[in-house]
Amino acid sequence: MTTARRNVRDRLGWVVDGILPIAILVAAWQLFASIGAINEAMLPSPYGIGLALFDLATGPEIRENLLVTLYRAFGGAALGCACGVAVGIAMARSEAFDAVVSPLVSATYSLPKTAIVPLLILWVGIGHTMAVLAVFLTCLLPTVVQTYHGVTATPNVIVWSARSLGASRREVLWHILLPHALPDILTGIRVALGFSFVVAISAEMIASTAGVGRLIFMYGENGSYAYMFAAITSVVIVAFAADRLLLLLSSRLLSWHVSQRGGHS
């Protein structure tokens, strides 16, 4: 009896634990909106937002603007992460390079990256290049720092063993240092991806002619709040999906790693 019940609970567990609380929240929100406890001009009802979301989902507006934002976020993030890993490895492998670059990295690490948006507007104008560059610079630093940390944390014994067994420097890099640094690199990439969406949207809100950040702001300025909330909801959904996807990907990539053994996959 208990096992059967437990089976049902296991299978429906994600509904009870994952969906139900959010459903309760939305239902309560709808209830308060229906009885007029919430001013619709300040907070539209879930029903109204749902209608707007459906309208947006069937039209081209949100799709095109979301694609523009995603293109900027992922383009900038891909460039930033690739360069970040390269710079991080170079810093970890060459003391001279480290000495030259690390003061610049540590000085700019705590600079709010959106502060360079006005500078980029001056330099390259408003558009794709500005947003991609802003995202690129944002994603660069966390990947540099995490890669550097991961590579330098590789025990010398492993590197020396490989060298003494005849591995070339390139082989050491590919087969020893990179795999060892992979968990740290993935942490850096996760941080960078989180930033990438934020910075792309921020850049669009500050100055842009396209993108979901500008779209949200435009709906807000026009007073079409149901559409504004619908656009925000779509952003929340995309960000959540991207985060889950990355978690899944990193647990796949790290399935061989100690941290995954015995833990949940």
Partner 1 sequence: MSVSPRKSRRLPKMWLSILSIVGFFAAWQAIASAQVVPALFLPTLPSVLEALRAGAADGTLFVDIGVSLFRAFAGLLVALVIGVLAGFAMARVRIVRWFCDPVISVLFPAPKIAFLPVVILWFGIDHTSKIMIVAVSCVFPIAIAAYEAARSINPFLVWSALSLGASRAKVQWAIVLPACGPSLFAALRVAVPVALIMAFTSEMVAGGGGMGATLMYSQRFFESPTVFAYILAMLVVGVLMDRGLLAIQRFTPSLSDQV
Closest CA to 231 of 29, 73, 63, 114: 63
Nearer to partner 1, 172 or 205 (CB): 205
Q: Considering only 59-67, 80-88, 106-114, 155-163, which stretch makes contact with partner 1 by CB under 8 A?
A: 106-114
C-beta separation of 104 from 91 below 8 A: no
Binding status of residue 219 toward partner 1 by CB under 8 A:
yes
Write the binding mask 150 to 189 for partner 1: x where contact by CB under 8 A, - elsewhere.
----------------------------------------
Residue located via tokens 């104008």: 125
Q: Which two tokens stand for residue 207?
A: 């100055």
**Largest CA-CA distance found in the chain, in angstroms, rounded:** 77
Minimum distance of partner 1 from residue 167's CB (angstroms): 26
Cβ contact 187:261 at 8 Å: no
Q: Binding of partner 1 at residue 227 (CB under 8 A)?
A: no
Instruction: Reduce the DSSP state of residue 101 to 3 states and report it.
Output: helix
37 forms part of the interface with partner 1 (CB under 8 A): no
Residue 28 binds partner 1 (CB under 8 A): no
CA distance linking residue 95 with residue 108, whole number of Å? 20
136 touches partner 1 (CB under 8 A) = no
Nearest Cα to Cα of residue 130 among 120, 122, 138, 141: 120
- Chain contacts with partner 1 (rule: CB under 8 A): 17-19, 21-22, 24-25, 42-43, 95-96, 98-104, 107-108, 110-119, 121-123, 194, 197-198, 201-202, 205-206, 212-213, 216-217, 219-220, 225, 228-229, 232, 235-236, 239-240, 242-243
